[in-house]
């Protein structure tokens, strides 16, 4: 599936995901349950991959 976003939309998406990522990091830090912490860390890895994708899309859109 492919979405066409403007540079402004990609920048907004990147800021939203970055803010979620920062909140997730705080949640991981404050979580006592190791099982829940593992789940959050798996989500963190997915968010990091998403941020890389959005960042590369933003770079490609800006270059055009």
Q: At what angle do helices 34-63 and 7-30 cross, to 10 degrees?
A: 160
The answer as to whether 20 is a domain residue is yes
What is the tens place of the pLDDT at every residue in 28-64?
Answer: 999 999 999 999 999 999 999 999 988 888 777 766 6
Q: How many domains does the chain have?
A: 1
Query: 8 falls in which pLDDT band (50, 70, 90)?
Result: very high
Mean pLDDT of the chain: 91
Full residue range of the structural domain in which residue 47 is found: 7-63
In a domain, 2, yes or no: no
SS3 53: helix
pTM of the model: 0.81
- Extract long-range pairs of 8-14: CB within 8 Å, 24+ residues apart: 10/54, 10/57, 10/58, 10/61, 11/58, 13/54, 14/51, 14/54, 14/55, 14/58
- Residue 39 in any domain: the answer is yes
């Amino acid at each position: 599936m492919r979405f066409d976003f403007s540079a402004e939309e990609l920048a907004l998406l990147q800021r939203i995901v970055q803010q979620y990522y920062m909140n997730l990091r705080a949640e991981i830090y404050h979580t006592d349950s190791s099982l829940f912490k593992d789940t959050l860390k798996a989500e963190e890895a997915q968010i990091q991959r998403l941020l890389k994708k959005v960042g590369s899309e933003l770079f490609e859109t800006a270059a055009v």
